[in-house]
A and B are shown apart, each in its own frame.
Chain A
């Protein structure tokens, strides 16, 4: 286990160095450094990044890292609110599809997930706005909370903040209604991806003889899926979950821009438009690092599940 941890940290370090070299190249290109020693500049750059000092934003003249935290909280809240239900729903629908493979339930789930995954996010978001926010005017479609309520920050998560300040009052409900459309449009892609992953991994396990033997004992399907199916499919499901995260993070930029959500997505698009190199650089470093860390920790989780579920992949249970 320590060996796996070391191997993963080595991978983490390597990816981090490559990432930093790339962003340093961007840094060199965007700032005129004259004929200074590149290695020395890199060390200085590294030092600044380790202190999380990305300079000041050209637009708002505030420190970039502070701004990132503020916008990042909004994005993280949106991502979590979209991902937790979509992971759960995708998981169960995937189990259903694997259990009823090649029957109508499976083809209904699979075909509709293919259909939903081929709808572009920016398009469905605009359709939602046109139908639900403009035509019938049920749900707000702009920002995180109505301007009538104060937006003083406590944790940065608006639902938590309003809850802490007013309890289950108007402001909380208002924030909640602001969540509906962005979460809806953001959760489509991760759900379909999760369905695909769970269905394929679980189905290949459900073909095995020990599953058929379990079925022949007359046990219920969900018990068999829980006891034997998921136990054997878990490592491959966990290892593929990275793509769900990836999908969410890429589509959240689009969703934030469509719904004018004050998160990292709108922030970075605004910065690119106005040529704010410090912000772009900070974004590249921080989001890149987040991705590397998440991906590698997911792989680590998959390895851990191999160990703790006693998979034949581990050395001990191979025939001696």
Chain B
């Protein structure tokens, strides 16, 4: 490390002590003195507990997507102290800086406590307080007028950005208004690809350690995990008190870890093997593991043969309607009589018993008529075929350790050490948001799940791919107990909830005839709603190309932006945003700022005003902070906890209420029914009483009052039969076969065959009426060189931008939250860019110099943090935005989103991830030059004084529910 670039604090000031050293030998007794008067120790009196006069309230933090149980200590109606709840099984009393600093954000002078109407021009930050009645009527009227004049598609909603719990509300509000348009800067760029693919891949839970999905590795009792591969996540930073604590515990227990991350994150620091992959090239590294495992025959042969679809022969005939799909036994063996039910098709393999191509019926491994070859290519009946395993093997073949080292910037011996640790120990792969933010958003999870599948690490103790009996994001496919039906996966929405609600979306695992009959029956019940919803699916923006977005019913963000700009194919005009700072969260923020004038009316809701509200909003609804809002959703292991209403100030409301009130008002204005809208449409509690009772019933309490009277009786709420193993092997009463998986083939679809159907028709989501076809999606992990490459000669190379930028979190903030939390900002005051000291030296940049970072989209500023923890050509930034920029003390206020915001740099144009339309937040190229601190940016601790809670805020009266 270059010492000149770092500060060397005089850490141990030996010189200052040189003279005193002799005298310091004074005995301890000599240093003692009488305790001061107020100290009762030693006087015989008992020292009172520090919590005397305070009342504890059990609650849960919601400072990130997870929820750590916490205790709020109250005094005279004010929360004066927060701490972790030691009874929590994973967080064990931990509470991170995001949670602790809620004490300041709750009472921040930046809180919005009443509905606000814009009083000046957009960007001027001038507001007038209005009544809730006025605000709700105004919002509903604008929406109604726009829909009456321009049609239902004039309305759109959005969510995301941190401190947002309105996933369901944002998804269903457009339903109520008969519009297909909703987006979230997360979604395709955060979690959707991993979540949705796990349902298509094997009908089970995904591998996300960042979204509450993976619990098995954190089990307190009977933990069988020996190795965890953290692929593109930093649990110790993103979910510090829960997954971070969990990781600390399992490492202390001797569990090995491999961490794939371009940045030397805390989890990388602690890893047994760190693989600092070049940003955006994870697919190459994954394929090198496949190659190593195939080459050295390290896979679980029986599981791969009988429980994955890799032995299936794939139709290689481009003219065939089943091109790239597995061959059906009935199609090539005319005399074949399938013995399994129609919902469990027989495929074809190369049988090693007979050395011939043969039907491959679904059965328990021991009952199989064939011994399927995993890797085979050859001719049958005059046509060429390959097994899915062979296709994977050929894809992986170029990825030798040496080739991978060259492309992915990870030394070959490290790659080998990582894969060896993985194969030699029981465990699994966990992941996070990293891959979602690249063009490889579908290919990386296919690879991560693919590896675990060929290792047979599914539904077993100690692995990460499991099917638990609960959890907010868990699939409705309930294989938690040996139900007597063949497992199926419902689609469209969380748990496929919209499928039954509206009669849309095929059920994977039902036969075509069963699905057709189901749709027909539902059409008879509610044909109009089915038709309307199906039309929304067909008309949704960007769906032709990126049909994976159907899983969460979201639109393709860049296509929405273009529709706003051009009016093609229709113009979204009235915007209801449900959280956060869109300008800090949306890729290529400037491109969004430019289309704000095209949006006629913008409604926002949040506990404070962000850049987005300053620059775009016409109306803002005040929301509760997490200390005020009752909620239950996330889990720790098999337990659920209550986020309690500890306090309530102003006229703030729970997150679901503004949308529900606006919909009710709109219905009233239209005389009862929203023309063209769906029913039930919006799924949201309209009153605090409903919010409270939803929380109570989730915990098994009859109502809110009963819950509050005896919280300890209902909290934590334990999900029975949560831990399940080997479900696929249990016998299904319906057909006497092993249960298998909730996929079309009833097996783990390592070759994700349903993605081929998805690309061609939208199946299983856009159903019964299909979506237009696009290019086929890749059913396996395949390599993608990032569009902006640092390689001379590669397409997308530009010598002007020599560094590859990637990003990630720091522990102080979650998405766009906490930038107004003074104790977070004094520790991490402004944007930083981590640069390798050797590269910095070439640029004449020293540690903590301000630098300008420029991409092909724009430029921002950050302080240089020199570290050997990134490769010489890699730089790393956290997102940032600066609410101080529009502080009243600023002579020239700005919106605070242009100065330090990495999303001014990010790339929101093609190429997108083929399945999900994810754009490029990570792995694009930039240049770096020395600069100076932008005006308005605070960095010194004392500068954040205007963000400290004020006496006025602490004195805010406890208020009753508004609705």
| Chain B associates with chain A | no
